[in-house]
Amino acid sequence: MADKEEPKLPSFFAMAATFTKELATYAAKGAPNVSPESYIKRLDACSKCPSFVESKMRCGKCGCLLEHKAKWRTSDCPATPSKWAPEMMLSDDEHQTKPDTEDSDKA
């Protein structure tokens, strides 16, 4: 079996910038994860993608570690956003910033 050529990953700085942005969004939305079933479906879709870097389990487009990116409901596929089914994504209401739950009148 011939080894297939894997896509080249983005630069370290590009990957760090993407990961930082993804992590900030994930944390700001309360760290929502997809269901275990959706996680498996996402990983399956990624494994069939030409941008998949199997040896590193990373996305060749953004460089993210798929074990994390596929789990986070705030993330989508950078190559083909529709690749991950809508039920695996945040709804429009969930994309809105959560209101501050602390009572600002208390001092």
User: For the CA atoms of 11, 17, 23, 27, what is the dihedral angle to 10 degrees?
Assistant: 180
How does pLDDT run across 61-86, given as a tens digit for each residue? Answer: 999 999 999 999 988 888 887 777 65
pTM of the model: 0.72
- What CA–CA distance (Å, rounded) separates 104 from 96? 20
User: For the chain, which residues make up each domain, given as ranges?
Assistant: 29-77
What's the pLDDT tens digit per position in 13-61? 999 999 999 999 999 999 999 999 999 999 999 999 999 999 999 999 9
